[in-house]
Amino acid sequence: MAGTTSAFEAVEVHHRVQASLVDLVEELVRKGGDRALAEETITRLVDFTAAHFQTEERLMRQLGYPQAGAHGDEHARLLEVVRAIRAAHASQEPGAGRTGELRSWLADHISTMDAAFVEWCTASGARPV
């Protein structure tokens, strides 16, 4: 059907949105200007990241991905980092500058764990609906 988006394509769009939010948070924190805008953007990153992880983990469970638990554990660790950045920013602690850690984690996670999931789907013939 023309114009439809596969689950994998939707997840890739999520990844681009996450990367854009990380870029924006990093810029706002580095500039140190509008704290309210930075706080709002960090909150959007936390909320979007949590929703993305739920979507990805639901897809893995639906397809019976054997590494879904380990993948979810990685998601939980990153979500802790994102929430710690939000808390540090809210209390004006230096930890708000950990966005470089997020960028590295996100790139590594996508190129390893997410790629392994896609490879498993291809090899097993699992197709998201």
Per-residue pLDDT tens digits for 12-68:
899 999 999 988 888 887 787 788 898 899 999 999 999 999 999 999 999 999 999
Q: What's residue 21's pLDDT? A: 92
Rounded alpha-carbon distances, angstroms, from residue 67 to 28, 62, 71, 85: 36, 13, 6, 28
CATH code for the domain defined by 7-119: 1.20.120.50
The 10s digit of each residue's pLDDT in 54-98 is: 999 999 999 999 999 999 999 999 899 888 888 888 887 655 567
Question: Is 64:71 a contact under the CB 8 Å cutoff?
Answer: no
DSSP result, 36-81: HHHHHHHHHHHHHHHHHHHHHHHHHHHHT-TTHHHHHHHHHHHHHH
The stretch 108-119 carries a mean pLDDT of 91
Residue ranges of domains in the chain: 7-119
pTM equals 0.84
Over range 92-113, report the average pLDDT. 79
Q: What does the pLDDT read at residue 2?
A: 41
Q: If you average pLDDT over residues 91-117, what whole number do you get?
A: 81
